[in-house]
Amino acid sequence: MSMKVTPREEDYSRWYTDVVLKAELADYAPVRGCMIIRPYGYALWENIQETLDAKFRATGHKNAYFPLFIPESFLAKEEEHVEGFAPQLAVVTHGGGKKLEEPLIVRPTSETIINAMFAKWIRSWRDLPLLINQWCNVVRWELRTRLFLRTLEFLWQEGHTAHATAEEAEEEARRILELYREFAEKEMAIPVIVGRKSESEKFAGAVHTYALEAMMQDRKALQAGTSHFLGQNFAKAFEITYQTRGNRLEYVWQTSWGLSTRVIGAIIMVHGDDQGLILPPRLAPIQVVIVPIWRSDKQEAEVRKAVEGVKDGLGGVRYEFDDRETYTPGWKFNEWEQKGVPLRIEIGPRDVGKRQVVLVRRDTGEKSIAPLEGLKGRIEASLEEVQKNLYRRALAFREENSYQVDDYEEFRRILEGPGGFLWAHWCGSAECEAKIKEETKATIRAIPFQEEEGGRCIRCGETSIQRVVFAKAY
Amino acid sequence: MSMKVTPREEDYSRWYTDVVLKAELADYAPVRGCMIIRPYGYALWENIQETLDAKFRATGHKNAYFPLFIPESFLAKEEEHVEGFAPQLAVVTHGGGKKLEEPLIVRPTSETIINAMFAKWIRSWRDLPLLINQWCNVVRWELRTRLFLRTLEFLWQEGHTAHATAEEAEEEARRILELYREFAEKEMAIPVIVGRKSESEKFAGAVHTYALEAMMQDRKALQAGTSHFLGQNFAKAFEITYQTRGNRLEYVWQTSWGLSTRVIGAIIMVHGDDQGLILPPRLAPIQVVIVPIWRSDKQEAEVRKAVEGVKDGLGGVRYEFDDRETYTPGWKFNEWEQKGVPLRIEIGPRDVGKRQVVLVRRDTGEKSIAPLEGLKGRIEASLEEVQKNLYRRALAFREENSYQVDDYEEFRRILEGPGGFLWAHWCGSAECEAKIKEETKATIRAIPFQEEEGGRCIRCGETSIQRVVFAKAY
d(CA B213, CA B218): 14
Does residue A294 contact residue A306 with C-beta atoms inside 8 Å? Answer: no
Does residue A28 contact residue A147 with C-beta atoms inside 8 Å? Answer: yes
Question: What SS3 class is residue B317?
Answer: coil
**Contacting residues of B for A34, CB less than 8 Å apart:** 67-69
pLDDT digits (tens, 9 = 90+) for A110-150: 999 999 999 999 999 999 999 999 999 999 999 899 999 99
- What per-residue confidence (pLDDT) applies to B315? 86
Nearest to A117 among B27, B45, B106 (CB): B27
**B90/A contact by beta carbon, under 8 A:** yes
**A105/B contact by beta carbon, under 8 A:** no
Q: What is the DSSP string of A254-281?
A: EEEEEEETHHHHHHHHHH-BTTB----T
Instruction: Give chain B's domains with CATH numbers.
Output: 12-271 (3.30.930.10), 288-382 (3.40.50.800), 402-471 (3.30.110.30)
- The edge-to-edge listing of strands for the beta sheet with A98-106 is A69-71, A98-106, A90-95, B90-95, B98-106, B69-71
Residue B18, pLDDT above cutoff 50: yes
CA distances from A87 to A90, A139, B91, B98 (A): 9, 12, 19, 9
Q: What is the DSSP string of B140-164?
A: ---SS-BTTTB-SEEEEEEEEEEES
**B286/A contact by beta carbon, under 8 A:** no
**A31/B contact by beta carbon, under 8 A:** yes
Give A36→chain B minimum CA distance, Å.
5
Question: What SS3 class is residue B280?
Answer: coil
Q: What is the DSSP string of A310-336?
A: HHHTTTTS-EEE---SSS-HHHHHHHH
d(CA B243, CA A32): 30
What average pLDDT does this structure show over A42-65?
Answer: 98
> For residue B383, which of B277, B282, B275, B268 has the smallest C-alpha distance?
B282
Give A439→chain B minimum CA distance, Å.
28
User: Residue B70 carries which side chain, given as an amino acid letter?
Assistant: I
Q: What is the DSSP letter of B186?
A: I
CA atoms within a 13 Å half-sphere pointing along the CA-CB vector of B7: 2
Contacts of B242 (CB under 8 A, 6+ apart): B122, B123, B124, B125, B127, B128, B164, B249, B250, B252
Q: How confident is the model at residue A246 (pLDDT cuts 50, 70, 90)?
A: very high
Exposed / middle / buried, residue B76 (Cβ in 10 Å: 0-12, 13-18, 19+): middle
* Residue of B92, B113, B139 best to disrupt the A interface, most CBs of A under 10 A: B92
Does residue A60 contact residue A133 with C-beta atoms inside 8 Å? Answer: no
- Is pTM, for the whole model, over 0.95? yes
The residue of chain A with its CA nearest to that of B132 is A39
d(CA A388, CA B195): 55
Other beta carbons within 10 angstroms of residue B469's beta carbon come to 22
- What per-residue confidence (pLDDT) applies to A452? 79
**Contacting residues of A for B113, CB less than 8 Å apart:** 29-31
**Contacting residues of A for B89, CB less than 8 Å apart:** 94-97
**B155/A contact by beta carbon, under 8 A:** yes
Residue A2, pLDDT above cutoff 60: no
Does residue B206 contact residue B233 with C-beta atoms inside 8 Å? Answer: yes
Buried b (16+ CB within 10 A) or exposed e, B80-116: ebbebbeebbbbbbbbbeeebeebbbbbbbbbbbbbb
- A62, B39: Cβ pair inside 8 Å? yes
Q: How confident is the model at residue B164 (pLDDT cuts 50, 70, 90)?
A: very high
> For residue B181, which of B166, B191, B168, B171 has the smallest C-alpha distance?
B191
- A42, B27: Cβ pair inside 8 Å? no
Does residue B172 contact residue B163 with C-beta atoms inside 8 Å? Answer: yes
Give B124→chain A minimum CA distance, Å.
12
**Contacting residues of A for B153, CB less than 8 Å apart:** 67-69
**A65/B contact by beta carbon, under 8 A:** yes
Buried b (16+ CB within 10 A) or exposed e, A70-106: bbeebbebbeebbebbeebbbbbbbbbeeebeebbbb
Give A432→chain B minimum CA distance, Å.
30
**B355/A contact by beta carbon, under 8 A:** no
The secondary structure element, H or E, covering residue B32 is none
What average pLDDT does this structure show over A297-305?
Answer: 96
Does residue A109 contact residue A134 with C-beta atoms inside 8 Å? Answer: no
* Residue of A24, A70, A83, A91 best to disrupt the B interface, most CBs of B under 10 A: A91
What is the overall mean pLDDT for chain B?
A: 96
Residue B410, pLDDT above cutoff 60: yes
Nearest to A64 among B37, B62, B68 (CB): B37
- What per-residue confidence (pLDDT) applies to B79? 86
- What per-residue confidence (pLDDT) applies to B1? 47
- B39, A152: Cβ pair inside 8 Å? no
CA atoms within a 13 Å half-sphere pointing along the CA-CB vector of A455: 19
What average pLDDT does this structure show over B397-424?
Answer: 97
* Residue of A2, A53, A62, A69 best to disrupt the B interface, most CBs of B under 10 A: A69
Question: What is the percent of chain B where pLDDT is above 70?
Answer: 99
**B27/A contact by beta carbon, under 8 A:** yes
pLDDT digits (tens, 9 = 90+) for B180-238: 999 999 999 999 999 999 999 999 999 999 999 999 999 999 999 999 999 999 999 99
d(CA A67, CA B159): 23
> For residue B447, which of B461, B472, B473, B465 has the smallest C-alpha distance?
B465
Contacts of A243 (CB under 8 A, 6+ apart): A123, A124, A125, A249
Interface confidence (ipTM) of the complex: 0.96
What stretches of A12-54 adopt beta strand conformation (E)?
Answer: 26-28, 35-37
Nearest to B39 among A42, A46, A64 (CB): A64
The secondary structure element, H or E, covering residue B62 is strand B62-63
- A91, B93: Cβ pair inside 8 Å? yes
Give B97→chain A minimum CA distance, Å.
6
Q: What is the DSSP letter of B184?
A: I
Task: Return the bridge partners of A211, or none.
Answer: A195, A226
pLDDT digits (tens, 9 = 90+) for A379-410: 999 999 999 999 999 999 999 999 999 999 99
**Contacting residues of B for A243, CB less than 8 Å apart:** none
> For residue B457, which of B429, B421, B434, B438 has the smallest C-alpha distance?
B429
Q: What is the DSSP letter of A408?
A: H
Q: How confident is the model at residue A450 (pLDDT cuts 50, 70, 90)?
A: confident
Does residue B254 contact residue B311 with C-beta atoms inside 8 Å? Answer: no
- What per-residue confidence (pLDDT) applies to A1? 47
- What per-residue confidence (pLDDT) applies to A153? 97
**Contacting residues of A for B123, CB less than 8 Å apart:** none
pLDDT digits (tens, 9 = 90+) for A369-381: 999 999 999 999 9
Question: What SS3 class is residue A296?
Answer: coil
The secondary structure element, H or E, covering residue B222 is strand B221-231
**B461/A contact by beta carbon, under 8 A:** no
Question: What SS3 class is residue A86?
Answer: helix
Nearest to B92 among A29, A63, A106 (CB): A106
Q: What is the DSSP letter of B183?
A: I
- What per-residue confidence (pLDDT) applies to B81? 87
- What per-residue confidence (pLDDT) applies to A414? 97
d(CA A381, CA A13): 34
What average pLDDT does this structure show over A82-100?
Answer: 94
- What per-residue confidence (pLDDT) applies to A326? 87
Q: What is the CA radius of gyration of chain A?
A: 25
Does residue A19 contact residue A3 with C-beta atoms inside 8 Å? Answer: no
pLDDT digits (tens, 9 = 90+) for B418-457: 999 999 999 999 999 999 999 999 999 999 997 678 999 9
Give A39→chain B minimum CA distance, Å.
5
- What per-residue confidence (pLDDT) applies to B445? 98
Residue B56, pLDDT above cutoff 80: yes
Task: Return the bridge partners of B213, or none.
Answer: B193, B223
